[in-house]
Amino acid sequence: MTQTAVKVRGLAKRYGEVRAVDGIDLEIGTGEVFAILGPNGAGKSTTVEILEGYRQRDAGEVSVLGTDPGHPTRLWRSRVGIVLQTANDTAELTVRETIRHFAGYYPQARDPDALIEKVGLTDKADKRIRQLSGGQRRRVDVALGVVGNPEVLFLDEPTTGFDPEARRRFWVLIQDLAQEGTTIVLTTHYLDEAEALADRVAVITKGRVVAEGPPATLGGRAVAKAQVSWLEEGERKQLQTGTPTRTVVELTRRFDGEVPELTVTRPSLEDIYLDLIGSSSTEPDDHSPAASRSRDPR
């Protein structure tokens, strides 16, 4: 990373006696896709709301594009895009009317018609928002989040409620935005989504970062012991080993070439994640529901 888009040091936030965020440090590079994972109640939504400028912190230093989001300027707001988990949309307007309307708030907005095409809604451009499917409405949300041509885009649980096909199409859209150089901060409960999209992930639990790194190596995943499994005399045999290649060679010799139903697996991201969060709280993360935040045209 040659430049830093988001920098956080010692971030803290309390709600009464509850330490929702307890000394978090983060650094996100320009053009990076960074996923924040954690159970409900971990503090991830509070952290992201502070980065967005929606919530004030109690302690710590925060910089987003060189500006403290606790004291935002109009110029800074125009450089940041936000896609909330829940948004109040303009149900009676068409897709084109809605996106053109919000484009008027920004000094360097994207071309609305080009953006409609990019999010895959060209054939729905003249449909009212209320006539769209859930996945299509979410694409409108994303279009509104990027219509100002933001340098940093915050995505809060962007594919909740999507069917598998819609989720995959949405992933392509996010990957395209990342290739254009947009820094993306993503919160999600879908670990396959984090693995597919993120350059790095941070796991937050009980208000603290417990692990950070690329999905493939998070929590020592890349060097964790592999599980070698095979069928022998009608029974499934399993072996945990740090030298799976040697084990497979030995099995190949024993079976004279072909090992029945051989599999070799290392811990999945889900395995590592569940190990990291342990028995964390499952209380709601939002002490002030995100749904209460109306879409801010900035």
The predicted structure's pLDDT at residue 66: 94
Q: Which residues pair with 61 in a beta bridge?
A: 9
Per-residue confidence (pLDDT) for residue 13, from 0 to 100: 96
Q: Where in the chain is the domain with CATH 3.40.50.300?
A: 1-79+151-219+268-283
Q: Name which of 39, 109, 99, 126 is nearest 295 in CA terms.
A: 99
- Domain 1-79+151-219+268-283 fold: Rossmann fold (3.40.50)
Q: Is 192 left (phi over 0), alpha (psi -120 to 50) or beta?
A: alpha
How high is the pLDDT of residue 35? 96
Exposed/middle/buried for 264, CB within 10 Å: 0-12, 13-18, 19+?
middle
pLDDT on residue 88: 61
> For residue 72, what pLDDT is reported?
92
Helix axes 164-179, 134-146, angle to 10 degrees: 10
In this predicted structure, what is the pLDDT of residue 2?
Answer: 55
169 residue type, one letter:
R
**What is the model's pTM?**
0.79
Which residues are within 8 A (CB) of 58 and not within 5 positions of it... i.e. 6 or more apart? 12, 13, 14
Pairwise CA distance, residues 285 & 210, whole Å: 17
CA dist., res. 93 & res. 96, Å (int): 8
Residue 172 has a pLDDT of 87
Q: Along the 298 residues of the chain, how does pLDDT read in single tens digits?
A: 459 999 999 999 999 989 999 999 999 999 999 999 999 888 988 999 999 999 999 999 999 999 999 999 999 999 999 988 766 667 889 999 999 999 999 888 999 999 998 888 899 999 999 999 877 888 888 889 989 989 999 998 888 767 787 788 788 888 888 998 899 999 988 899 999 999 999 999 999 999 999 998 888 877 778 889 999 988 999 998 888 899 999 999 999 889 999 998 878 888 888 888 884 444 444 444 443 444 444 4
**3-state class (DSSP) for residue 196:** helix
The sign of the CA dihedral 214, 215, 217, 218 is: positive
